[in-house]
Amino acid sequence: MGLRCILQDYNRKRQLKSSSTLPVSLTEMKSNMFTVKRPFSTSHSSVDSKEMKKFQLLAHKWWDEEGEYAALHSMNDIRVPFIRDTLLSMSSNYHLGNPLSGIKILDVGCGGGLLSEPLGRLGASVTGIDPVEDNIRTADQHKSFDPVLAKRIQYKSSSLEEIVEESMETFDVIVASEVVEHVADLEMFIKCCSQVLKPEGSLFITTINKTQLSYVLGIVVAEKIMGIVPEGTHEWEKFVPPEELERLLESNGFSVKTVNGMLYNPLSGSWSWVESTSLNYAVHAVKSGTWAQSHTTDTPPQTDIQQHSATAGTAGTVPDSTV
C-alpha cells in the first residue's frame, strides 16, 4: 500500500472516531505546517496533565529493553557519548574511569532513570526529577540494585519550576532528553532551565522536529502502524522546530553551540547521527556567563568553547524514526 493510501485510510478512520486538527494528508500538512501554532499553557506550570496520565500508565515499563521504551534504551548509545564528549572537550580536568566526576547534572523528565544511570556511572552527581511519582518510584527501585549509583543519583517527584527557588544556579549541566515535545509551556521551561543552571553551564536537549516527515514517520508509522511507541505518545502540534528552540534559548541567555540530526532504524533498533534535522535532533547550548549579572534579553556573546562533533563516540552508522 502506498504512503498516500495509508494516509487516506488513516484519515477516514480518524474522522469516524472524532474530528481532529492534525493535518492528515500531505497537501494539508504542507499548508498547515507553519500556520498551526504550538499550544502554550496559560498556567504557571510547564507540566501537561494529559502527558502525565500517558506516562503514568507505563511507569512500570521503563526498564523493559524490548518494550515500549526500547528506542530510548538504544538512544543511550549516542546521547550518552554526545553528552560525555562535549563536556570533556570543554574541560581539561577529568578522572579516568569517572570522567564526569565533580559535575552536577539535572536530568529533567528523568522517567525511570534511563539516562540518569549511565551519567551516574560516568561519575556525575545526578539529580533526576519527574512529575510522575510512579516514574520516580521505578527509578529509585532500579538504582538501589547498584550501591554506587545509590550514592551518586537522587530522584525527586517534581516539576522543573517547583525546584527553581531552591536550586538557583545550582547545576553544571541540564539534560532534557525527549521532554520538550511533552511540556505545556516551552518558553517557561527554557526560562527555568536558565535559572537553575550555573553561568557557562551546558544544556542538552533531544527532541522531534515539526515537519511533514515527522508527522508521517513519527505519528502514523511509529505509533499507528509499527507500534514503535504506544499510540498517543506524541502530538504533532507540540513538536518543536530547531529554529524555534534556538530562538527561545538565545532569548533566555543561551548560546547554541551544536544542532545535530538523529536517525532511528527500527529494523536494527539503533540510532545514528545524520546531517538532516527533519526528524529527531539534539542541541547543545551554553548559558552565557554574563546572563546572571545583566538579565537582559540581548543575544549573549559567544563564549570561547570548542564545538563538539556529534559523531565522536558514536557506535556504527544506522538510521531513525521518532520517540
Residues belonging to the binding site for Mg(2+) are: 178, 181-182
Residue with cell 552565557: 288
Residues belonging to the binding site for S-adenosyl-L-methionine are: 79, 109, 130, 177
Residues belonging to the binding site are: 79, 109, 130, 177-178, 181-182
3-state secondary structure 243-275: HHHHHHHHHCCEEEEEEEEEEEECCCCEEEEEC
DSSP bridge pairs for 265? 270
Give me the pLDDT at residue 119, please: 98
Give me the pLDDT at residue 227, please: 82
Q: Which three cell numbers stand for residue 97?
A: 574511569
Spatial separation of the C-alpha atoms in residues 62 and 123, rounded to whole Å: 22
Give me the pLDDT at residue 233, please: 84
Give me the pLDDT at residue 52, please: 65
CA distances to 56, 190, 310 from 164, rounded to whole Å, are 24, 12, 30
Q: Are 284 and 257 in contact (CB under 8 A)?
A: yes
What b-and-e string marks burial along 190-211, b requiring 16 or more CB atoms within 10 Å of the CB?
Answer: bbbbbbbbbbbbbbbbbbbbbb
What does each of the 323 residues of the chain score in pLDDT, given as a tens digit? Answer: 444 554 455 455 445 444 444 444 444 444 444 444 444 444 467 776 766 666 677 789 999 999 999 999 999 999 999 999 999 999 877 778 899 999 999 999 999 999 999 999 999 999 999 999 999 999 999 999 999 999 999 999 999 999 999 999 999 999 999 999 999 999 999 999 999 999 999 999 999 999 999 999 989 988 888 888 888 888 999 999 999 999 999 999 999 999 999 999 999 999 999 999 999 999 999 999 864 444 443 433 333 333 433 333 333 333 333 33
Give me the pLDDT at residue 177, please: 98
